[in-house]
Structure formats: structure tokens, C-alpha cells
């Protein structure tokens, strides 16, 4: 339930990771209020047993309420489409954390909002079609976006409106790229090894620029990115997670008591699944939260199934050292190890979800439905850019950037230097030309 929207996007990213043959992804989820990032490694989302809610300082770790529950690990990396841009007391351009929300919303909504937002900047830059927002159900007012950016940003900074709009867009992209890079480094990962997976209504608008900043060569955009979180929940198996505390040094643990705790949690999980109608193909996963003696933070370590006895110490210790070395590069062979908590995950089978493949066709650039002026940093000005309707793109289609691809839930901006390809599941792939073979 915590961070449920972005979590759903991450689960969907893991699903597409497996379907696409990608072992790892950086899920980039940008909605109306915030943008978040999470890593998928080995086809699975990274998880943690600690999480903060209600942070007093938006990006400051330790300023919120810690919650000791298993969650998908993610980081808030930036603003959303409704985040408000402003000039602070030092004369610097800042975006967020304050949001225009949906009411009154960005200035371009025409619902009473007067302060410029990321959506307003994207509209002025030509990334969004004012007549096709929500499939045309909610026309945007470009002149109001222009006026808001001019008054609040351009005039105080001595810029023209387009420069100010690009400044808003670039600040958001740089912030998101920087936070994503730090998040990966903290996990011992090189962000350049992780293709980007765009999720959320605003994610496809910004993902190409973020990929350029990060030096990432590949971007995957699923069908319906704006409602990707809902798909993620459909792809998630029913599961229950339990934890019991029982502290002890590994070599002196009461393994009979450990087994009693593990069996109790497994029985409780099986009973809950039975109430939900799941009685077959149940998987039981067991973990211990362990650390070296004297350390403050523990790590989660898989432990063997079946009966655990004194003879299991060697295998549990080896699992801990392997997990510790993976996170911190090196494990200590001599320090005593301690277990603090014991966890059991009881889950049902993967939901049967089938994506219909379309017929593979030869590369076939579809005919643009329109052209419009779009601002790109590569040109330093507006560029007449082809606009495509996503529903008209068939398997095998290739489109050279720059380009715009529109659908009801989102808009994809393909920056110069990227080649857009459509696969058999009608997913969109963006690949850097020099990386494309």
C-alpha cells in the first residue's frame, strides 16, 4: 500500500524485463506530483525492509517516519507534471516540491491556476499537443502557460519565455538524472548498464532527455505507460510477508526455536492464501536479517528450505557472506555473524497474463499524422517535427528521431540521435544510433 502507484510501475517493469530478455532495468516513473526511480535486477525489483513516510524534507533521508515493512525500494528523484517552478531568494530557478495538484492545476488547465508548472513548460516547448491532452478531452491553453512562465520565471531572470521554459524542463531532467545516478551508486551499480523503462503520464515526455544525461543507450516504453501501475498490480501474484524477531549469534542459535517461528509464519500465510482461494502452486521463501557483530545495519539473506539445524550454519553463513560481498564488495571471514529477524514470504502462482503478439513486418515508417515546431537542445531552437499516432505504429516500424508519438495517456518525445523501433508486442524501443546495430 505504501507508494502503491510507483510500486505497480516497478512490478510492471519487472514483468516486461522478463518478457523482453532484459536482466535489469531502471524504472522511471513520472506522474503529476513526483518522479521516482527503482531498479530491477535479475528480473526482480529490489526490495527493502525499511521505508520512510511523511518526510519533513522531501529529499532528506532521516527526516520522515521509519516504517519497518517490506517494500519495493525506490527513491524520489524529482518533480512531476504539476510541480510549480519558481525563482528563489538567491535568484535561482527551482522546481517543486510544491504542486499545483489537479485543482486548480497548471496554468494551462485554465481552471484558475496562475503559477507555472512542468506541464506548462512542456507545452510551450511543443512537447505536448494542446488539442490532444487526454485524447482531446481536456484542451490545454498554451497562451496561459506562456503568460505564467513569462511573469514568474522569464522576467525575473531576464530570459525570453522559451529559454525559461527550457530551463524548467532541464532543471527537472538534471535533478532526476542526478538522483537516479546516486541511487544506483549507493547499490553498487553503474546506471549506464540499466536501460530505462518509462512509466507514468509524464515519464515518456522526459525519458529521452534523462537517458541522454545518464548516458543510457536504450529506453523501453510499454503500451499504456500512463496506466502502467494498474497493469503492474495485475501482473503481481498474491503474497503475504511475515517477520518474527529472534536475536542470536549464528553459532549459538536455538535452531528449534527458529524452526518454530518459520513454520508458524508459513502456516499463517498458507491459511490466508486459502481464504483467498489459492491452495496450489504455493511458493515459500525464507530469509534472515543478519549483520556482523557490532554493526548497526543488517542485510536480508535467503536461507535454505527444510529443517534448519546446527549443520545449516555453514550454508547460512555462506549466503550471508555472498550477499554482503555483493552489496559492499568484500566480506569478512573472521567476524562473528548475528541474526536479528526471520522472514517468510508465502505467495501464490504468477497470474496468467498473455500479451498478444502482432505480426512481424518489415521496417515501415508510418505516415505522420501532423508536424509541429518542437524545441530541442541539439538544435538550440524549434524544429519542424513529425508527430505520430501510437495506435498506427505496427510491429517492425522504425522512426528516426526527432519525433513525437502521441497516445491518450502520454506523449513520447524522441530526441535527435535516437532510433525508435516497434516490437512484436507493440512496445516502443528507443536506441542511440551509435549503439544500434
Give residue-wise pLDDT tens across range 64-102.
787 777 777 777 776 778 888 999 888 889 887 788 877
C-alpha atoms less than 13 angstroms from C-alpha of 115 in its C-beta half-sphere: 18
User: pLDDT at residue 435 above 60?
Assistant: no
Q: Give the 3-state secondary structure of 153-219.
A: HHHHHCCCHHHHHHHHHHHHHHHHHHHHHHHHHHCCCCHHHCCEEEECCCHHHHHHHHHHHHCCCEE
Average pLDDT over residues 334-362: 83
Average pLDDT of the segment spanning 213-228:
86
pLDDT score recorded for residue 394? 87
First to last CA, the chain: 42
Gyration radius (Cα) of the chain, Å: 24
Q: Which pLDDT score, from 0 to 100, does residue 176 have?
A: 87
329: pLDDT strictly greater than 80: no
- Residue recorded with cell 538550440: 380
pLDDT band at 59 (very low <50, low <70, confident <90, very high): low
Q: What's the pLDDT score for residue 271?
A: 95
Angle between helices 203-214 and 161-186 (to 10 degrees): 70
For position 57, what pLDDT does the model report? 62
Q: How confident is the prediction for the chain on average, in pLDDT? A: 86
* pLDDT, tens digit, 9 for 90 and up, residues 373-388: 999 988 989 999 999 9
Q: Is the pLDDT of residue 47 over 70?
A: yes
Q: Which of 48-62, 122-136, 227-241, 305-319 has the lowest mean pLDDT?
A: 48-62
Report the share of the chain in percent with pLDDT over 90. 42
55 has a pLDDT exceeding 80? no
Burial of 248 from C-beta contacts in 10 A (0-12 / 13-18 / 19+): middle
Q: Tell which residue, 71, 40, 67, has the closest CA to residue 52.
A: 67
Q: Compare 63 and 125 and report the one with higher pLDDT.
A: 125
Question: Is a pLDDT exceeding 60 seen at residue 362?
Answer: no
Q: 54 or 412: whose pLDDT is higher?
A: 412
Residue 202 binned pLDDT confidence (cut-offs 50, 70, 90): confident
For residue 40, whether the previous peptide bond is cis, meaning omega lies within 30 degrees of 0, is no
Q: Which cell numbers hold the place of 12? A: 510492471
Instruction: Answer yes or no: are the C-beta atoms of 371 and 386 closer than 8 Å.
Output: yes
Residues 201, 204, 210, 216: is their CA dihedral positive or negative?
positive
pLDDT value for 158:
93
Are 360 and 425 spatial neighbours (Cβ–Cβ below 8 Å)?
Answer: no
- Flag the least confident range among 188-197, 258-267, 362-371: 362-371
At residue 58, the pLDDT reads 55
DSSP code, position 36: E
Helices (H) and strands (E) in the chain, counts: 9, 23
The 3-state secondary structure of 301-362 reads EECCCCCCCHHHHHHHHHHHHHHHHHHHCCCCCCCCEEEEEEEEEEECCCCCCCCCCCCCCC
How confident is the model at residue 361, as a pLDDT? 59
Whether residue 436 has pLDDT greater than 50: no
- Residue 1 pLDDT: 64
Confidence of residue 437 (pLDDT cuts 50, 70, 90): very low
> Which residue from 3, 11, 70, 67 is spatially nearest to 242, judged by alpha carbons?
70
Instruction: Tell me what pLDDT residue 3 has.
Output: 67
pLDDT of residue 262: 96
pLDDT in tens, 105-120: 899 988 888 899 999 9
CATH 3.40.50.10320 fits 4-79+172-234, yes or no: no
Would the pLDDT of 336 be above 90? yes
Query: Is the Cα dihedral 96, 102, 104, 110 positive or negative?
Result: positive
Quick check: 314 pLDDT over 80?
yes
Q: Tell me 227's DSSP state.
A: G
C-alpha cell at 188: 553498487
Instruction: Note the pLDDT of residue 334.
Output: 84
pLDDT at 165: 94
More confident residue, 199 or 308: 308
Q: Where are the chain's structural domains? A: 4-79+172-234, 83-169, 239-347, 370-435
Instruction: Using CB atoms within 10 Å of the CB of residue 136, give its burial: 0 to 12 exposed, 13 to 18 middle, 19+ buried.
Output: exposed
Q: Which residues pair with 136 in a beta bridge?
A: none
The predicted-structure confidence for 165-177, as pLDDT tens digits, reads as follows: 999 999 989 988 8
Q: Is the pLDDT of residue 274 over 90?
A: yes
- The residue among 313, 315, 336 whose CA lies nearest residue 249 is 336
Grid cell for residue 322: 555472498
DSSP code per residue over 422-436: E-TT--EEEEEGGG-
Those residues whose C-beta lies under 8 Å from the C-beta of residue 189, and which sit 6 or more positions away, are 39, 41
Predicted confidence (pLDDT) at residue 46 exceeds the cutoff of 90: no
- pLDDT at residue 275, rounded to an integer: 94
Q: Is the pLDDT of residue 285 over 70?
A: yes
Amino acid at each position: 500500500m505504501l507508494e502503491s502507484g510507483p510500486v505497480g510501475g516497478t512490478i510492471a517493469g519487472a514483468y516486461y524485463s522478463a518478457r523482453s530478455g532484459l536482466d535489469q532495468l531502471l524504472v522511471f516513473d513520472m506522474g503529476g506530483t513526483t518522479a521516482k526511480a527503482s531498479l530491477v535486477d535479475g528480473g526482480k525489483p529490489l526490495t527493502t525492509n525499511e521505508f520512510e513516510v511523511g518526510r519533513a524534507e522531501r529529499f532528506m533521508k532521516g527526516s520522515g517516519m521509519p516504517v519497518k515493512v517490506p517494500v519495493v525500494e525506490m527513491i524520489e528523484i524529482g518533480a512531476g507534471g504539476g510541480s510549480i517552478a519558481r525563482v528563489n531568494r538567491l535568484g535561482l530557478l527551482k522546481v517543486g516540491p510544491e504542486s499545483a495538484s489537479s485543482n486548480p492545476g497548471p496554468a494551462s488547465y485554465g481552471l484558475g491556476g496562475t503559477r507555472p508548472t512542468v506541464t506548462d513548460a512542456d507545452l510551450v516547448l511543443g512537447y505536448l499537443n494542446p488539442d490532444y491532452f487526454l485524447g482531446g478531452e481536456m484542451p490545454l491553453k498554451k497562451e496561459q502557460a506562456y503568460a505564467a512562465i513569462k511573469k514568474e520565471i522569464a522576467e525575473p531572470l531576464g530570459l525570453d519565455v522559451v529559454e525559461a521554459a527550457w530551463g524548467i524542463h532541464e532543471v527537472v531532467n538534471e535533478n532526476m538524472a542526478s538522483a537516479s545516478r546516486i541511487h544506483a551508486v549507493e547499490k553498487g551499480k553503474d546506471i549506464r548498464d540499466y536501460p530505462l523503462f518509462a512509466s507514468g503520464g509524464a515519464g515518456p515526455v522526459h525519458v529521452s532527455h534523462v537517458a541522454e544525461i545518464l548516458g543510457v543507450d536504450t529506453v523501453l516504453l510499454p503500451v499504456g505507460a500512463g496506466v502502467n501501475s494498474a497493469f503492474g498490480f495485475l501482473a503481481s501474484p498474491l503474497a503475504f510477508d511475515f517477520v518474527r524477531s529472534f536475536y542470536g549469534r549464528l553459532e549459538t542459535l536455538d535452531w528449534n526455536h527458529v524452526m518454530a517461528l518459520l513454520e508458524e509464519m508459513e502456516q499463517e500465510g498458507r491459511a490466508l492464501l486459502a481464504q483467498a482461494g489459492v491452495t496450489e502452486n504455493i511458493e515459500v521463501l525464507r530469509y534472515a536479517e543478519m549483520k556482523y557483530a557490532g554493526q548497526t545495519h543488517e542485510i536480508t539473506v535467503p536461507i535454505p528450505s527444510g529443517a534448519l539445524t546446527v549443520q545449516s550454519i555453514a550454508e547460512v553463513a555462506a549466503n550471508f557472506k555472498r550477499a554482503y560481498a555483493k552489496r559492499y564488495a568484500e566480506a569478512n571471514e573472521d567476524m562473528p555473524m548475528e541474526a536479528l529477524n526471520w522472514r517468510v514470504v508465502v505467495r501464490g502462482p504468477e497470474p496468467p497474463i498473455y500479451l498478444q503478439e502482432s505480426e512481424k513486418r518489415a521496417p515501415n515508417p508510418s505516415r505522420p499524422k501532423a508536424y509541429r515546431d518542437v524545441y530541442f537542445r541539439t538544435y538550440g531552437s524549434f524544429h519542424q517535427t513529425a508527430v505520430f499516432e501510437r495506435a498506427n505504429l505496427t510491429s517492425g516500424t522504425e522512426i528516426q528521431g526527432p519525433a513525437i508519438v502521441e497516445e491518450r495517456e502520454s506523449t513520447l518525445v524522441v530526441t535527435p540521435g535516437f532510433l525508435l523501433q516497434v516490437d512484436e508486442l507493440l512496445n516502443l524501443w528507443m536506441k542511440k544510433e551509435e549503439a544500434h546495430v
